[in-house]
A = this chain, B = another copy of it.
Amino acid sequence: MPKAAIQDLQPRKTPLQSRSVATVQAIYDATIQVLLKDGPDQLTTVRVAQRAGVSVGTLYQYFPNKQALLFAVLERHLLQVSKVVEDACTSSRLQPLEVMVSALVNSFIDAKLTDRETALALYRIAGEAGGYIIVDRMRKRYESAITAMLQTAPLPPSADVHFMAHMIYLIMAGTLRGHLETNAPPPMTRKLREHLSKLVLAYCQAM
């Protein structure tokens, strides 16, 4: 896979007719499927196109290169998850700290578990050059949402709410990633959810 400048990561053409909208959708879905079935190393543009039921040429009409395709898929997933978490943060403002933390942690875990397999497959892509840009943009969104929520909580004025939000994001994202990557069974996940809530709460109260 040759190098790709960052400006080449934008979609090449926006689908106008309903036919092409469906095509692009099929390409997205096929990408995830290939990613899950064959892994990132075996993912080729031809294979994705085949599974989507179109030809490679069509794929390249909408995505300037392979990376752009992968990043589009990544961005889609991350946006989906972050929207859920942002909503949870917004609607938990002014609630007791315990409620806030619980809503935050559970919404995050729920959203990730909805597409557990997808999330796992995408961790690999997120590390690729350029993927960090998307991940970073999302991190900032999370931190803003968490900060805004925490600012409505009764915390001591000494608390550095912004850094706390940063830490909470790192804890949630990092811990869940590690957990998913161990392929732990559901009971473990239940326990993780419980411990993670208590942990974050204890952290907020201790600072």
Contacts and interface: CB of A to CB of B under 8 A. Distances in A.
Interface of A: 1, 3, 39, 41-42, 123-124, 127-129, 132, 135-136, 139, 163, 167, 169-171, 173-179, 181-182, 191-192, 195-196, 198-199, 201-203, 205-207
B206 A199 contact: yes
A163 B195 contact: yes
Nearest to A201: B206
Number of identical protomers: 2
A171 B167 contact: no
Given A3-B42, A199-B206, 12 more contacts: A3-B41, A41-B128, A135-B181, A136-B182, A163-B195, A167-B192, A170-B174, A170-B178, A170-B179, A195-B203, A202-B206, A203-B203
Nearest to A199: B203
Contacts of A175: 167, 170-171, 174-175
A interface, over-half SS: helix
A84 B186 CA distance: 32
Given A171-B171, A178-B174, A127 B127 contact: yes
A147 B176 CA distance: 20
Contacts of A181: 132, 135
13 contacts: A1-B41, A124-B127, A124-B128, A135-B181, A136-B182, A163-B195, A173-B174, A174-B176, A199-B199, A199-B203, A199-B206, A202-B206, A203-B203
